[in-house]
């Protein structure tokens, strides 16, 4: 029996959730499974990858072949051995970003805000000049 480690889609439209399962390669994607060994939620930030390492290593040792997507997830979690047979976790922990503090000695690159100019006072004087001309005819 050819056994595969693959993703089984669950969830609703536009909200995918996956189970990482061990199944016979001849069954449907969402068909009967032998064992569920983890889950993957790509829509969260950061995405959630939970894999039972002992069970994944067991199934790989007895000859289960991971699909491309499952192999990527197993490699990220450190459950898939590399060419040398070493298990290496490739997920890097998130480092808290330090807030930006501008140097007080250097000048700011940002331009200062420009205030709007007051309206010109010549406009009312022009209206007064036109008014007497209209009365003359």
Residue 38 exposed, middle or buried by CB count within 10 Å (0-12, 13-18, 19+): buried
Quick check: is 53 in a domain? Answer: yes
pTM value? 0.59
* CATH number for position 28: 3.30.1320.10
What confidence score (pLDDT) does residue 30 get?
85
Give the integer Cα–Cα distance in Å for 12 and 17: 8
Q: What is the mean pLDDT of the chain?
A: 81
Q: Give yes or no for a contact between 23 and 32, defined as CB atoms under 8 angstroms apart.
A: yes
Residue 63 lies in a domain: yes
Residue 98 lies in a domain: no
pLDDT band at 132 (very low <50, low <70, confident <90, very high): low
pLDDT digit string, tens, across residues 39-48: 999 998 888 9
Tokens for 13?
């439209």
Contact 29, 21 (CB under 8 A): no
Q: What is the mean pLDDT of residues 29-39?
A: 91
pLDDT tens per residue, range 68-102: 999 889 888 887 765 556 666 666 677 788 887 77
């Amino acid at each position: 029996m050819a056994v595969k480690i693959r993703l089984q889609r669950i969830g609703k439209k536009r909200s995918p959730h996956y189970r990482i399962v061990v199944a016979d390669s001849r069954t449907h994607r969402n068909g009967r499974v032998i064992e569920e060994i983890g889950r993957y939620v790509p829509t969260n930030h950061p995405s959630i990858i939970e894999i039972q390492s002992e069970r994944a290593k067991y199934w790989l040792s007895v000859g289960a072949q991971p699909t491309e997507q499952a192999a990527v997830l197993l490699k990220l979690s450190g459950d898939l051995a590399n060419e040398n047979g070493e298990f290496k976790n490739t997920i890097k922990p998130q480092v808290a970003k330090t807030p930006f503090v501008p140097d007080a000695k250097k000048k700011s690159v940002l331009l200062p805000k420009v205030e709007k100019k007051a309206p010109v006072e010549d406009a009312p004087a022009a209206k007064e000049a036109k008014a007497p001309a209209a009365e003359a005819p």
